[in-house]
């Protein structure tokens, strides 16, 4: 699994592209063409717990 941070995302796509990607993902989810995984808590080596994925 590949984890991307904010800087990675900003380098890869514009805000408009991100909004359109999310819109398309929700459409595919609605029509049964996508699967939404359960929420995952990411545990870091230093023991901190960042914001949950998929929230």
- In Å, what is the CA distance from 15 to each residue of 4, 11, 18, 42, 45? 15, 11, 5, 25, 30
Q: Which two tokens stand for residue 33?
A: 């063409």
Place 50 in a pLDDT band, splitting at 50, 70 and 90: low
- What pairs with residue 40 in β-bridges? 53
Q: What is the pLDDT of residues 17-29, one digit of tens each?
A: 999 999 999 999 9
Residue 41 is predicted with a pLDDT of 72
Residue 43 is predicted with a pLDDT of 72
Residue 54 is predicted with a pLDDT of 53
Q: What is the pLDDT of residues 22-48, one digit of tens each?
A: 999 999 999 999 988 887 777 777 766
């Amino acid at each position: 699994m590949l984890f991307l941070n904010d800087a990675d995302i900003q380098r890869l796509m514009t805000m408009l592209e991100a909004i359109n990607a999310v819109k398309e993902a929700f459409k595919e989810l609605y029509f049964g063409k996508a699967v939404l995984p359960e929420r995952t808590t990411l545990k870091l080596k230093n023991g901190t717990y960042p914001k949950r994925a998929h929230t």
